Amino acid sequence: MLKIALPNKGRLSEEVRELFNDAGLEVRGRGERALTASLGGEFEAIFVRAQDIPEFVADGAAQAGVTGWDLVNEAGRELESLMDLEFGRCRLVVAAREDSGITRAEDVKDGMRVASCFPRLTQAWFQQRGQRVTVVPVSGAAEIAPHLGIADIVVDLTSTGSTLKMNGLREVSTVLESSARLVAYPGNGAEARRSLEELTQALGSVLAARGRRYLMANVPKTSLEQVREVLPGLNGPTVVDVMDGGNFVAVHAVVSSRTIYRTVNALKALGGQGILVTRIERLMA
């Protein structure tokens, strides 16, 4: 049974568990503090700190893992990125005090001190730009460093930028865009790769279904051309004859949940009846 390293706590852990559950790989553990659990009887989950997952996977202790792309890059280990899981989105940014006069990366002078929980990425980014800075590693709350005189600027994670603004900091530049990723051990054998390909397809089908709805309706045959414009679907709507339906046919389509309100009203305007909208659990193209 392949081992999958998953985050043991935090928002990322909750979203990962939800995704695996939706894919039919229910997390079955002995308790909240269990270090291992079954994933639907197909895989074994091992729960570790998100920042340790790149090391566990790169060393082959787990065949795959889920963690932030920022942590993967900070670890600097050789890993295969299998898929972007599309949640946990954030940015690693350079930020300076509002009153510092630093408004762009070029304003950072040689010798300035930079506080960050990502010392490797920070050093590499400034070196690539030819800027000589002193990196001050911190384990958390980097945004307070400039106010304490520990550093001139910070490199920190942000989602909306509100925390930085709240602490009197201005975003200067983006170092890296991050999200949750499924990564794998490069030395996996053929059987492990096949299993991980099936896992990737299962998780991908759940992600593809999010934000989509399955719509069914009976519409007049004379309105089919207009209906095709309203319901483009994946490959256009599926049209099915209705027994004793007379001048009506049934149309089925996958549509965006963002536009479902307007779509239903457009179908009603075309004479649609018996309109039914349902959620989609998984969608495999």
Q: Does residue 50 lie within any of the structural domains?
A: yes
Mind giving me the DSSP string for 165-197?
A: HHTTEEEEEEEEEE-EEEEE-TT--HHHHHHHH
What is the pTM assigned to this prediction? 0.87
Q: Does residue 44 lie within any of the structural domains?
A: yes
217 and 274 in a single domain? The answer is yes
* Lowest mean per-residue pLDDT among 86-90, 234-238, 259-263: 234-238
Q: Does residue 194 lie within any of the structural domains?
A: yes
244 and 263 in a single domain? The answer is yes
94 and 167 in a single domain? The answer is yes
CA-closest candidate to residue 203, choices 40, 30, 9: 40
- Residue 69 is part of a domain; what is its CATH number? 3.40.190.10
230 and 167 in a single domain? The answer is no
47 and 124 in a single domain? The answer is no
226 and 205 in a single domain? The answer is no
Q: pLDDT digit string (tens) for 194-250? A: 999 999 999 999 999 999 999 999 999 999 999 988 987 657 788 998 877 688 999
Q: Does residue 235 lie within any of the structural domains?
A: yes
Q: Does residue 285 lie within any of the structural domains?
A: no
* Sheet order of strands, 43-48 included: 27-29, 36-39, 43-48, 3-7, 64-68, 180-184, 80-84
Q: How many domains does the chain have?
A: 3
199 and 161 in a single domain? The answer is no
Q: pLDDT digit string (tens) for 152-200? A: 999 999 998 898 999 999 999 999 999 999 999 999 999 999 999 999 9
123 and 79 in a single domain? The answer is no
Q: How far apart are the first and last CA of the chain?
A: 28
Residue 45 near residue 27, CB atoms below 8 Å: yes
Q: pLDDT digit string (tens) for 27-76? A: 887 767 779 999 998 999 999 999 999 999 999 999 999 999 999 999 99
Q: Does residue 105 lie within any of the structural domains?
A: yes
Last-in-domain residue among 127, 156, 177: 177
Strand partners for 174: 93
Range of the domain at 27: 2-88+179-209
96 and 172 in a single domain? The answer is yes
Q: Does residue 284 lie within any of the structural domains?
A: no
83 and 217 in a single domain? The answer is no
Report angle CA 50, 116, 87 to the nearest 5 degrees: 40
Last-in-domain residue among 192, 209, 226: 209
